[in-house]
Chain A
Amino acid sequence: TQLLEQSPQFLSIQEGENLTVYCNSSSVFSSLQWYRQEPGEGPVLLVTVVTGGEVKKLKRLTFQFGDARKDSSLHITAAQPGDTGLYLCAGQGVYGGSQGNLIFGKGTKLSVKP
């Protein structure tokens, strides 16, 4: 069974600080996605990484896919209160099934205080 472990589970920081959230697995994934979810809403897709070692930037957010495609990180520079939310990583497995199902981590709940 492929699993994704996210750390930390909770993160509370002040506006302007930097932070990194991690998503780790012992399994290889053919792609990995990061979503952000606000209370009472569905996850919103932020980015997809496909190639080992790939780095993508979205304004103040930097996403990296590990060389072995088993892990990923999300780095936020100069966090703002609007960044508050639940950050989820999700992977598309390489083994078996229809490959239509995404495997989700439990998420990192980020709170940015003004």
Chain B
Amino acid sequence: NAGVMQNPRHLVRRRGQEARLRCSPMKGHSHVYWYRQLPEEGLKFMVYLQKENIIDESGMPKERFSAEFPKEGPSILRIQQVVRGDSAAYFCASSPLPQAHYEQYFGPGTRLTVT
């Protein structure tokens, strides 16, 4: 039973470029959450999505960041015009049921480095 898949595992971008991070939830899970982990910081919630809907984006920066979870295909976290401060590990998690938000299973993460 495959777990949450994220790719790429490592991504290097120059300042001003775009970064696209992909997440495929566990089979049977239709709820996806994105978190960011900065060095020496805990994981911070960014956005919660269901298929074709953004449910809660209270943790997303107002500019340059967007997320989607289309009917077909993986969830995408998109960062436009990246800056050095965007360097972090980005984790995706999924859960099976809306009433079991706490049962979140995490992927291995994408480590973004902005040079």
Contacts of A42 in B (CB 8 A): 4, 6, 91, 93, 106-109
Chain A, residue nearest B107 (CB): A42
A105 to B40, CA, bound (A): 11
Chain A, residue nearest B41 (CB): A106
Are A45 and B103 interface neighbours, CB within 8 A? yes
Q: Does any Cβ of B come within 8 Å of A14's Cβ?
A: no
With A42-B107, A43-B106, A44-B106 in contact, is A100–B41 under 8 Å at CB? no
* In the complex, per-residue mask of B1-31: 1 if CB is within 8 Å of any chain A CB, else 0: 0001010000000000000000000000001
Are A100 and B33 interface neighbours, CB within 8 A? yes
Q: Does any Cβ of B come within 8 Å of A78's Cβ?
A: no
Contacts of B102 in A (CB 8 A): 30-31, 33, 48, 50, 90, 92, 102
Are A104 and B43 interface neighbours, CB within 8 A? yes
Contacts of A48 in B (CB 8 A): 102-103
Q: Does any Cβ of A come within 8 Å of B66's Cβ?
A: no
Contacts of B40 in A (CB 8 A): 106
Contacts of A102 in B (CB 8 A): 33, 35, 43, 45, 101-102, 104
Are A98 and B56 interface neighbours, CB within 8 A? yes
Q: Which residues of A contact B (CB under 8 A)?
A: 30-31, 33, 35, 40-45, 48, 50, 88, 90, 92, 97-107
